[in-house]
Every structure is written in C-alpha cells, then in structure tokens.
Amino acid sequence: MLKLYFAPGTCALASHIALQEAGAAYTTERLDFKSNQQNSPEYLAINPKGRVPSLVTDRGILTETPAMLAFIAQSFPQAKLAPSDDAFEFAKVQAFNSYLCSTVHVAHAHKMRGFRWATEEASFADMKRVIPKSVGASFALIERNMLKGPWVMGEQYTICDPYLFTLAGWLQGDSVDLAELPRVADHMKRMAERPAVQQVLAEEKG
Amino acid sequence: MLKLYFAPGTCALASHIALQEAGAAYTTERLDFKSNQQNSPEYLAINPKGRVPSLVTDRGILTETPAMLAFIAQSFPQAKLAPSDDAFEFAKVQAFNSYLCSTVHVAHAHKMRGFRWATEEASFADMKRVIPKSVGASFALIERNMLKGPWVMGEQYTICDPYLFTLAGWLQGDSVDLAELPRVADHMKRMAERPAVQQVLAEEKG
C-alpha cells in the first residue's frame, strides 16, 4: 500500500492525481503547513528536506515529483501514463517534467519563498514583482513549444498532464493572464473534466 | 550519431561524461556563452530555452539534464548507468538527479543569474551573499542523507555520479568549504580518477 504525504495547494497534487489515474491502492496524509508540520521531527524523519510530496512505498520513501510520477507510471503500466518502453519518448516526458520542476515551479516559488535565496525584504518585494513576467515567460514557452494537445504529449494522456495542471493552477494567483495562453487554458479545462481529477480535488479540499 | 551541445563550466558536463562512460558514438559542439551564442537564432531553433545541454538524436532533440542522463543510460544498457529494470531503484536515481536540478543547481544559479527572478542590483547582491549558505545547506543534505558511497547509489556507478561531480565542481567558487563535506570531497576525487572523466575534462578545456 502506498501512502502519499501532501498539503493542499502544493505540487503534491500532481502525484495525487497520478495515483488516482493509475488506479493505485493508496492512502494520503495531509500536512498542515500553517503549523509548519513539514518541518516537524516526525516528518523530517520521512523527508529530511521538509517538503511535500513524499511517497511511502513497501521498499522505502520516494521524494521529488518527477521521480514519483515516473515511479507511479512504471508501477502501474496498465494505466499507460508514460511510454516506459521507448527511451526517447520517455525522455521527452521526463524533459517536460524536469522543466516544470526546475524552471516553472522555481519561478513561482520566488513569490512566497524568496527566503531560500535572499534575506532582505526589498529583495522579496523585487522577486514578487517579477513573478508575472518570469512565470508568464515559462508558460509562454509551454504554450508555444511544448504542449502538443490535446494532452501535453499529444493523443496520449501521461504523467505530464497532472503536473502541468497543478502548476497552471497557480497562474491566476501569479497574475499571469490565461487569455494569452489559450492552449494551456484548454488543457486546464480538459483536465478538470476528468473524474480522477475531480475526486482528488474534492479530497484535497475536504 | 548523437550530438551534444555544451559550454564549458555548465551542467552539460554531466551528460558529456555520461556519454563517454556509456561508450556512445557522439560528437560535441561548443557554444560560446561570452558572445551569447546560446541565444542566437540558430541555437534557439535547436533549444528554444537558450540553455545547454541539448542532445541531438536521430529521433529529435532532447533537453534537461535529468532526462538526457536517463536517456543515455537507457540507450546504452550494457554500461549499467541506471537500474532501469527496477522502478523503485530507478526512482531513487531520478529523485537524486531531480534534487540536483531543481534545488542545488537553482541555488547556485542565484550567484550569476539573479536576473531570472529579480531586477534590482541590491537584490542580486543579496542573492550572492546567500550562496554559501544555500548551496552549502543543499550539499550538507547530500553529505548526510543521500551520498551512500563509494558512489551516490552505493556500489554501482550511475548517472547520479557525473551530475553530482559537475555541481560539486562549483563549490569552491561558491565559497562552500569542502572540508565540511568529506564524503562529497572523496567522491570528487574518485570521479577525477576515472579515465572517462579525465578525457571529457581535457576536451572541454581544449
């Protein structure tokens, strides 16, 4: 049995949706970020990075969204969430998810987590002002060059889709105009229609 | 035939070493960052992100170091650079490389590329002051929790090793004291003894 540690509003949503889409048997545990539970001794013993998501498996604990997503896809091959039997196509999936984690998510993180990279209030304010431009530029690249449609990789729904959906969910709060990203907006709408997505969103809200 | 676009001193070194370790047939093309060649129209047609590395394959172009490293490992299975037949062990490899790209490399990037996330000179100076602490903390976690030894994943040399070696090569310039990271320092030394690493370093210098 798999167990996912998550917090609402975080990138853990991507793995949560993937588990649901895969038909996996799993449980979830919600962390309370307001009380800084992610840095409690109990949770640091699970994930010393003090971040979500973490996935507890029979063989040990996994962290890092791109790694967890690929693990879910490969553990439930019947769900066809990644082209694991084709090294090149699999690398395309990985490259997309790697861009989301190292560029898109990082750009967004400068809004609320500037303390990771700076110390002055003026720097945090500067970083916040840049968010619409930096996040907007990364999504413009996705819109123009990466999102094939109807799904990220084309006809086949993959682990790229819940990850993109998760990060796209932050665009409004980041003051990025979705009207300039019609293909991303269409993808969000298509994702929101999936039963697995609806079920997970309801659970995370609850 | 594979073709790697690289620039000296960048994370492209990881993929360069992996290609050499894999025994791959490949060529390289050096980009001149001083003349901003990574943002030339010619190169943007190859990689619209204007970054290195890029790997041109018979089937298309790959970007993003973790994706390229896994592709190299899976394309040359006889080199045993990743446990591709075990989803959990493969996920451990991926999680390590994902941490390097999204946390460690990103921390380092705030020294010279603060313009990605801020606009003010004072913010850039603030970011630069934080580098030893932010990069140091991410490497302390690697030292304490991730690097099994003698190689990152234990007895088996994998695609994690050239990637760690590449980023560890920036520690001195980032004013992180290697004396506090004895296991990382030992790993660097062990890597530097490998013929493939020596050959690639010589080529990138040349």
Residue of B nearest to A91 (CA): B67
Average pLDDT over residues A5-18: 98
Reduced to 3 states (helix: H, G, I; strand: E, B; else coil), residue B3 is: strand
Token digits for B129? Answer: 């002051």
B85 contacts: CB under 8 Å, gap ≥ 6: none
- Which of these, A140, A111, A106, lies nearest to A127 by C-alpha position? A111
Token digits for A44? Answer: 């640091």
Indicate yes or no: CB of A101 within 8 angstroms of CB of B106: no
Average pLDDT over residues A15-34: 97
Which residue in A101, A107, A126 is closest to B98 by CB distance?
A101
- Specify the length of chain B in residues: 206
Cα A171 from Cα A158, distance rounded (Å): 21
Residue B206 predicted with pLDDT over 90: no
Which residue in A70, A87, A99 is closest to B64 by CB distance?
A99
Q: Which domains does chain A have, with CATH numbers?
A: 2-80+198-205 (3.40.30.10), 87-194 (1.20.1050.10)
Helix (H) or strand (E) holding B203: helix B195-205
Residue A52 predicted with pLDDT over 90: yes
Number of H helices, E strands in chain A: 9, 4
**pLDDT at residue number A183:** 98
Helix (H) or strand (E) holding B63: strand B60-63
Residue A206 predicted with pLDDT over 90: no
**pLDDT at residue number A179:** 97
Mutation target among B59, B94, B130 for the A interface, most CBs of A within 10 A? B94
Give percent of chain A with pLDDT exceeding 90: 100
Q: Which residues of B are less than 8 Å from A74 in CB distance?
A: 87, 90-91
Average pLDDT over residues B39-63: 97
pTM equals 0.98
User: Is the N-terminal amide bond of B53 cis, ω within 30° of 0?
Assistant: yes
Residue A110 predicted with pLDDT over 90: yes
Average pLDDT over residues B33-50: 96
Cα B43 from Cα B63, distance rounded (Å): 13
Mutation target among B69, B98, B167 for the A interface, most CBs of A within 10 A? B98
Average pLDDT, chain B: 97
Cα B60 from Cα A155, distance rounded (Å): 18
Question: Is there a contact between B52 and B44 (Cβ–Cβ < 8 Å)?
Answer: no
Which residue in A102, A103, A126 is closest to B120 by CB distance?
A126
Q: pLDDT (tens digit, 9 = 90+) per residue, B126-185?
A: 999 999 999 999 999 999 999 999 999 999 999 999 999 999 999 999 999 999 999 999
Helix (H) or strand (E) holding A13: helix A12-22
Q: pLDDT (tens digit, 9 = 90+) per residue, A170-198?
A: 999 999 999 999 999 999 999 999 999 99
Indicate yes or no: CB of A95 within 8 angstroms of CB of B123: no
Q: pLDDT (tens digit, 9 = 90+) per residue, A77-109?
A: 999 999 999 999 999 999 999 999 999 999 999
Question: Is there a contact between A100 and A163 (Cβ–Cβ < 8 Å)?
Answer: yes
Mutation target among B123, B128, B138 for the A interface, most CBs of A within 10 A? B123
